[in-house]
Amino acid sequence: MMNIDMRTRKSPMQKLDGRTKLIALSVIFVLVLLFSHPAYILALLGVVMVIWWSAKLPLQTIKDLFKYFLVIAVIILVVQIFFYPGQTELIRLSNPVPAIGFSGFITLEGILFGVAMVLRLVVIMIVAPLMVLTTPLPELMLALVKLKIPYRFAFIMTTALSLLPSIQSHAAIIQQAQLCRGITYDTAGKFFTKLRASVALLVPLILGSFRDSQTLEIAMSSRAFGAPVKRTFLLDSQFSKIDYLILAVTIAILVTGIVLRILGFGVY
Amino acid sequence: MSTQDPSNIVPPAQPAQVRTYKARGRIFGMSIAVMSIWAAMYIAASAIPALPVPGMAGMITVNAIMTAISGMVLGPAAAIANAAGGIVSMILFPYGFSAGPLGFLTVTMGGLVAGLLFANKWVWAAVFELIIIGAWFVNPQSWQTGMWMVPLPYSAIALLVILVKPLRDWTRRSILTQHKVWMWPAVFLMCTVGHAAEFMTTNTLVNWMFNLSWQYWVPTLPYWIMVDTVVILASTIVGVGVLIGLKKARLPNYADTLEQ
């Protein structure tokens, strides 16, 4: 099981309000889906990389993430290069193969569209970690509540996060106990051995955790969870001038992006 | 006939204010504490490396197993618990979600459709399943050769279980009564419903985001059927174990809520 790095580095990004960051990153996500031209997506990737750099985050994280997406990135690139209906012929490989929809040559448009889709994948994948690596989790939850996410939903997320270390330690104990019973978690084992190990871990983990939920329920009831009173928070956050400035710029970029898209720019 | 002086009229006693906050500790009949625990397990499961299927590049993630069984354990509340867990794990472990920040929608839909079906709200389950299938076909990319086959394998089974009353009732009854033999196929069908909703939402999102053509979807269909079958089989084994365990240990689960 991997451990979670919940530390946040000191940076200008960390000083921003959680809501500002959530809105800005959502706008980047919307824009990257709005455009399909490689130049536009490359510009967005540039913006994300500048934010990443200003947040003083390690580039190694991007490399680690990319390892997991390499297969899907290659699939996207290959499918678009070979099957995108382009006009500008670059390399002729064979005669047309209508059965598989292959025109027989690789086109410039196919390569550019494939690159655009891979860049889109990269932007999508590095936007979300940017948020968590620059925002302590309680602030993130506060931002969600302030953005009018229902409190009970935010509570589930916050509680889940705080219970995470306990669940992970439970899982480790169960793994040790099952190991004593001869169930191996060796990654080099056979498929069905691993499957059996997963079952042997999941069932007791779920049952044991549900037992703990009763204690949590009593604790919630004893603290009058859901009482009809105005809720107060230990932490509070306010928009600063920088937040307002960034929000204004973000909204301006979003509006510009939508107008450009309506006018037919940024589409491949 | 005498008239009463309005100042002498005693106002009727006001009913005591009923504090209903205990009800706020539950969503769709499931305790928020249980949902929090489920979401925490979901996040923890995201940290477990995926299990590669032999001879295939596909992976079985523990998340997929949890999503498939969530509807039977939590009912419709599974959607909320899965969404909460999905959002946090997507932020902490983004590599498990090929649909990026919208990845939480896939596990939400998986829990929602199976949960609604288990709660016998089959009309809503059918509506959501049809929305999922419809979202696939709205994309012009899905009008290409053979793309109609992609949602077919599991969505067809899911729709059958949802819409055919005898099959639906038998599935629910076998799980609720924990029939020694029939529980297994019933849990398999329910896991199929949950997994079908999840994988079709994922396919639809991926198709909208990355414009993959039929040359990807159609030839890889048999391969995905095999991977998904293994996921559903694994979910069935875990699901039966969990449901029996929850009942034996008298721990909270949605079947209790239905009985009440």
Do A163 and A209 fall into the same domain?
A: yes
State the nearest Cα–Cα gap between B111 and chain A, in angstroms: 16
* Chain-chain contact of B95 with A4 (C-beta, under 8 angstroms): no
* Chain-chain contact of B37 with A155 (C-beta, under 8 angstroms): no
Q: What is the pLDDT of residue A167?
A: 86
State the nearest Cα–Cα gap between B218 and chain A, in angstroms: 10
**A interface test, pick of B17, B74, B211, B231 with most A CB neighbours within 10 Å:** B211
Q: What is the pLDDT of residue A102?
A: 77
The answer to whether B125 touches B162, Cβ cutoff 8 Å, is yes
Do A179 and A93 fall into the same domain?
A: no
Least confident residue range of A31-35, B19-23, B180-184, B219-223:
B19-23
* Chain-chain contact of A198 with B19 (C-beta, under 8 angstroms): no
Do A113 and A217 fall into the same domain?
A: no
* Chain-chain contact of B210 with A214 (C-beta, under 8 angstroms): no
In a 10 Å sphere around its CB, with 0-12 CB exposed, 13-18 middle and 19+ buried, how is residue A113 labelled? Answer: buried
Question: Between these two residues, A66 and B241, which has the higher pLDDT value?
Answer: B241
pLDDT > 90 fraction of chain B, expressed in percent and rounded: 38
Q: What is the pLDDT of residue B16?
A: 53
Do A41 and A164 fall into the same domain?
A: no
Do A48 and A137 fall into the same domain?
A: yes
Do A163 and A95 fall into the same domain?
A: no
Residue A157 lies in a domain: yes
Over range B67-74, report the average pLDDT: 92
Do A122 and A155 fall into the same domain?
A: no
Residue A2 — pLDDT band, cuts 50, 70, 90?
A: very low
* Chain-chain contact of B36 with A65 (C-beta, under 8 angstroms): no
Q: Flag whether pLDDT at B2 surpasses 50.
A: no
State the nearest Cα–Cα gap between B11 and chain A, in angstroms: 27
Judged by DSSP in three states, B144 sits in coil
Do A97 and A133 fall into the same domain?
A: yes
Cα–Cα–Cα angle for A189, A195, A197, nearest 5°?
A: 75
Do A160 and A33 fall into the same domain?
A: no
Which of B21, B34, B42 is facing A210, going by the closest CB pair?
B34
Do A42 and A175 fall into the same domain?
A: no
* Chain-chain contact of B252 with A213 (C-beta, under 8 angstroms): yes
Q: How far apart are CA B23 and CA B201, in angstroms?
A: 32
Interface size, chain A vs chain B, as Cβ–Cβ contacts under 8 Å:
207
Question: Between these two residues, A230 and B34, which has the higher pLDDT value?
Answer: B34
Q: What is the pLDDT of residues A120-174, one digit of tens each?
A: 988 988 887 787 778 777 777 788 888 888 888 888 888 888 888 888 888 888 8
Which of B21, B45, B54 is facing A225, going by the closest CB pair?
B21
Residues 6+ apart with CB under 8 A from A23: A247, A250
Q: What is the pLDDT of residues B243-252, one digit of tens each?
A: 999 888 888 8
Over range A89-118, report the average pLDDT: 82
Q: Which residue range is the domain that position A210 belongs to?
A: 150-222
Residue A8 — pLDDT band, cuts 50, 70, 90?
A: low
Which residues on B lie below 8 Å from A227 (Cβ)? 19, 21
Q: Flag whether pLDDT at B23 surpasses 70.
A: no
How many CB atoms are located within 10 Å of the residue B71 CB?
Answer: 31
* Chain-chain contact of B36 with A76 (C-beta, under 8 angstroms): no
Q: What is the pLDDT of residue B1?
A: 45
3-state SS string over chain A? CCCCCCCCCCCHHHHCCHHHHHHHHHHHHHHHHHCCCHHHHHHHHHHHHHHHHHCCCCHHHHHHHHHHHHHHHHHHHHHHHHHCCCCCEEEECCCCEHHHCECCEEEHHHHHHHHHHHHHHHHHHHHHHHHHHHCCHHHHHHHHHHCCCCHHHHHHHHHHHHHHHHHHHHHHHHHHHHHHCCCCCCCCCCHHHHHHHHHHHHHHHHHHHHHHHHHHHHHHHHCCCCCCCCCCCCCCCCCCHHHHHHHHHHHHHHHHHHHHHHCCCCCC
Number of domain units in chain A: 2
Reported ipTM exceeds the 0.95 cut: no
Q: What is the pLDDT of residues A57-81, one digit of tens each?
A: 888 878 877 777 788 888 888 888 8
When the pLDDT of each residue in chain B is averaged and rounded to a whole number, the result is 83
Residue A8 lies in a domain: no
Do A66 and A162 fall into the same domain?
A: no
Residues 6+ apart with CB under 8 A from A162: none
Which residues on A lie below 8 Å from B44 (Cβ)? 1, 164, 167-168, 171
Spell out the domain ranges in chain B.
Answer: 29-249
* Chain-chain contact of B100 with A127 (C-beta, under 8 angstroms): yes
Judged by DSSP in three states, B31 sits in strand
Do A130 and A162 fall into the same domain?
A: no
